[in-house]
Amino acid sequence: MMHFDVLTLFPEMFAAVDTSIVGRAREKGLVEFNFVNIRDFSNDKHNKADDYPFGGGPGMLMMADPIFGAMGSVDAGHKKVIYMSPRGRVIDKDKLVDLSREEELVILCGHYEGVDQRALDYWDAEEISIGDYVLTGGELPAMVLIDALARLVPGVLASEEAATEESIYSGLLEYPQYTKPRNYQGMEVPEVLTNGNHKLIHLWNFEEALKLTRDLRPDLFEEFVKNHRELNKDEQKVMEKVINML
């Protein structure tokens, strides 16, 4: 089981985690959530949790004291603390696998112009981003992180293979997929996928993944060609074919 303590000004936004696959995982006890309202730890009679930054600047900043109170309530000093921040490392597969080894995570969701730096320093928070852009708060990025991590928890998905299906061919984009009907408005499913020959299907999937990665993410394709050493003879021939198409 993986436990998430989520510290936020807007816990109501996290209703989404009770739906779909993550919601079912929660019902099965595979993941657990504790949503903490940072305002509950404010010493202000109006539950104020933000103030103007020293030195000036636009907008408001979340205050250290309510965050400290919320952190203490979840015993954050003994857990891995993540702060969702546009200046943090952009999450990728390697980072997700690393974080998935944690049994407990504390996720701090910033808002407004961010949080008092002392809250990050004291609690040794690692800053994580979901992309090089800015949102109005950390709640949506936190949900992205939770969803991505939850699917790596054993038992959450239908099969262990499903958890890494987008990276079966490590470093490649996912190949095209089809379902019924075989013919839709004159568009046919590729014949190779309907003939029952699993070897040919595997090689077709591999080739399509290579071509898509070559065309859409040439950086990943170059890295794959340079570093991949686990191909069998048939896969090697397919890769050489795709390379020669350049």
Query: What residues contact 34, with CB distance under 8 A and at least 6 apart?
Result: 3, 4, 5, 6, 74
Segment 200-224 shows an average pLDDT of: 95
| pLDDT of 241 above 80 | yes
Q: Quick one: pLDDT at residue 22?
A: 94
The 8-class DSSP code of residue 170 comes to: T
pLDDT band of 104, cuts 50, 70, 90: very high
26 contacts 17 by C-beta, under 8 angstroms = yes
User: Treating both helix axes as pointing N-terminal to C-terminal, what angle do 218-227 and 198-216 enclose, rounded to 10 degrees?
Assistant: 120
242 contacts 214 by C-beta, under 8 angstroms = yes
* Residue bearing the bigger pLDDT, 171 or 232: 232
User: For the chain, what is the mean pLDDT?
Assistant: 93
Residue 51 annotated as binding?
A: no
Q: Quick one: which of 56, 79, 75, 53 has its CA closest to 64?
A: 53
3-class SS of residue 208: helix
Residue 189 annotated as binding?
A: no
Residue 201 annotated as binding?
A: no
Q: Quick one: pLDDT at residue 162?
A: 56
Query: What residues contact 198, with CB distance under 8 A and at least 6 apart?
Result: none
3-class SS of residue 82: strand
Q: Which helix (H) or strand (E) holds 7?
A: strand 2-8
32 contacts 132 by C-beta, under 8 angstroms = no
Q: Quick one: pLDDT at residue 169?
A: 39
Q: Which domains does the chain have, with CATH numbers?
A: 2-150 (3.40.1280.10), 168-244 (1.10.1270.20)
Q: Quick one: pLDDT at residue 160?
A: 56
Q: Quick one: pLDDT at residue 18?
A: 86
| pLDDT of 168 above 80 | no
Q: Quick one: which of 123, 82, 121, 119 has its CA closest to 104?
A: 82
Residue 132 annotated as binding?
A: yes
Q: CA-CA distance, 135 to 137, in Å (whole number)?
A: 5
Q: Quick one: pLDDT at residue 163?
A: 55
Residue 9 annotated as binding?
A: no
Condensed to tens digits (0 to 9), the pLDDT of residues 130-142 reads 999 999 999 999 9
Residue 169 annotated as binding?
A: no
Residue 216, amino acid: L
Alpha carbons within 13 angstroms on the beta-carbon side of residue 146 total 33
Q: CA-CA distance, 210 to 173, in Å (whole number)?
A: 7
Condensed to tens digits (0 to 9), the pLDDT of residues 12-60 reads 999 988 899 999 999 999 999 999 999 999 999 899 999 999 998 889 9
152 contacts 96 by C-beta, under 8 angstroms = yes
Both tokens of residue 118? 């002392």
Residue 26, amino acid: R
Q: Which helix (H) or strand (E) holds 32?
A: strand 31-37
Residue 210 annotated as binding?
A: no
